[in-house]
Amino acid sequence: MDESVVVSPDWLASRLDDPAVRVVDVRDAWEFDGIGHVPGAVSIPFDSYRDESDVDRGTLPGADAFATLLGDAGISPDDTIVAYDDTHGVFAARFVLTALEYGHDDVRLLDGDYSAWNQTYETTSDTPEIDPVDYEADPLEPDESPLVGYDAVEAALERDAVFVDTREREEFEEARLPGAVRFDWRDVIDDETRRLKPEDELEALLADRGITPDREIVLYCNTARRISHTYVVLTALGYEDVMFYEGSLTEWLANDGETESGPVSTE
């Protein structure tokens, strides 16, 4: 896996003393304080960078709000951020996607989660000392961003794009975009280690669904959380033509977009 996107616990453990490597814990604050955390990690809970009222950009918090979060956590634009949660990385992946969208150049997902880290390395309940900084976000231009809206998705339906639905089977069968394939985001996780499966196994799983690097790919779920994890995994595997439908099925249905329903024989 590309270490500029996903890093192992060993990678992080060897760099905890590097002041330019900043670890972000996106679990609830009570988990950070009460259960413990990776040494030196700062707490930026998941609900602090989701804005349900932001009708223009789905659930993104806004560049200024996100910049304030990072600045208050003592994170500078030049820092390397490594994010983790305790839910196989799905909430941390949303943080990664958000940071990238707002122009942070070096942000990575910890392979595994807090429980995976805790299998090998020490944790702490010590509260880190934080020196707030002024952080200025530099949001990506629309033509640089993987995030797309309804019109772009509608246009992609007319092309030979692969629409990837990362939700549960029941959700998929109830309503989905036309021609979509289902790829549960959790299929990439090894249940025993809580980490990503080996690269060759991941590539085989994806190829079995027709999700290959030579295809144009559109990811969606319900509210763009689960596809964040799949997006990070595909990026780490070298996929380059991946669109991230931020509004996902929620926006699609609100616009009366065409859907299919029912079981699929290949499922």
The answer to whether the beta carbons of residues 54 and 61 sit under 8 Å apart is yes
When divided into structural domains, the chain yields a total of 2
Task: Name the domain boundary from 79, 104, 119.
Answer: 119
Locate 152 and state its tokens.
Answer: 């772009």
The answer to whether the beta carbons of residues 232 and 6 sit under 8 Å apart is yes
Q: Look at residue 127 and tell me if it is in a domain.
A: no
Q: Look at residue 267 and tell me if it is in a domain.
A: no
Locate 111 and state its tokens.
Answer: 């392979």
The helix/strand count (H/E) of the chain reads as: 10, 10
184 and 108 in a common domain: no
State the burial class of residue 257 (Cβ atoms within 10 Å of its Cβ: 0-12, 13-18, 19+).
middle
Locate 76 and state its tokens.
Answer: 């500078």
Task: Name the domain boundary from 102, 119, 136.
Answer: 119
Distances (CA, A) of 36 to 125, 143, 232: 5, 40, 26
Q: Look at residue 36 and tell me if it is in a domain.
A: yes
Residue 154: pLDDT above 90? Answer: yes
Residue 56 confidence (pLDDT): 44
Measured in degrees and rounded to the nearest 5, phi and psi for residue 219 equal: -100, 140
What is the Cα–Cα distance from 86 to 42, expressed in whole angstroms?
A: 15
- HSE value, Cβ hemisphere, 13 Å, CA-based, for 111: 23
154 and 76 in a common domain: no
- Could you list the residue range(s) of the whole structural domain that residue 154 is in? 147-255
Residue owning tokens 């079981």: 263
User: Would you place residue 265 in the very low, low, confident or very high pLDDT band (cuts 50, 70, 90)?
Assistant: low
User: Would you place residue 111 in the very low, low, confident or very high pLDDT band (cuts 50, 70, 90)?
Assistant: very high
DSSP 8-state secondary structure symbol assigned to residue 161: -
CATH no. for residue 214? 3.40.250.10
Q: Look at residue 220 and tell me if it is in a domain.
A: yes
Of the ranges 119-133, 182-196, 252-266, which one carries the lowest mean pLDDT score?
252-266
- Does residue 262 sit in helix, strand or coil? coil
- HSE value, Cβ hemisphere, 13 Å, CA-based, for 267: 19
Q: Look at residue 134 and tell me if it is in a domain.
A: no
194 and 93 in a common domain: no
Residue 52 confidence (pLDDT): 62
Task: Name the domain boundary from 119, 137, 170.
Answer: 119
Instruction: Catalogue the active-site residues.
Output: 221
Report which of residues 98 and 52 the model is more confident about.
98
Report which of residues 132 and 51 the model is more confident about.
132
Residue 54 confidence (pLDDT): 52
What is the Cα–Cα distance from 44 to 83, expressed in whole angstroms?
A: 10
**What is the chain's mean pLDDT, rounded?**
94
90 and 190 in a common domain: no
249 and 179 in a common domain: yes
User: Would you place residue 21 in the very low, low, confident or very high pLDDT band (cuts 50, 70, 90)?
Assistant: very high
Residue 126: pLDDT above 70? Answer: yes
98 and 180 in a common domain: no
Could you read off the pLDDT of 234-246 as tens digits, one per residue? 999 999 999 999 9
215 and 165 in a common domain: yes
Q: Look at residue 1 and tell me if it is in a domain.
A: no
114 and 179 in a common domain: no
Could you read off the pLDDT of 22-80 as tens digits, one per residue? 999 999 999 999 999 999 999 999 999 987 665 444 578 999 999 999 999 999 999 99
Residue 178 confidence (pLDDT): 96
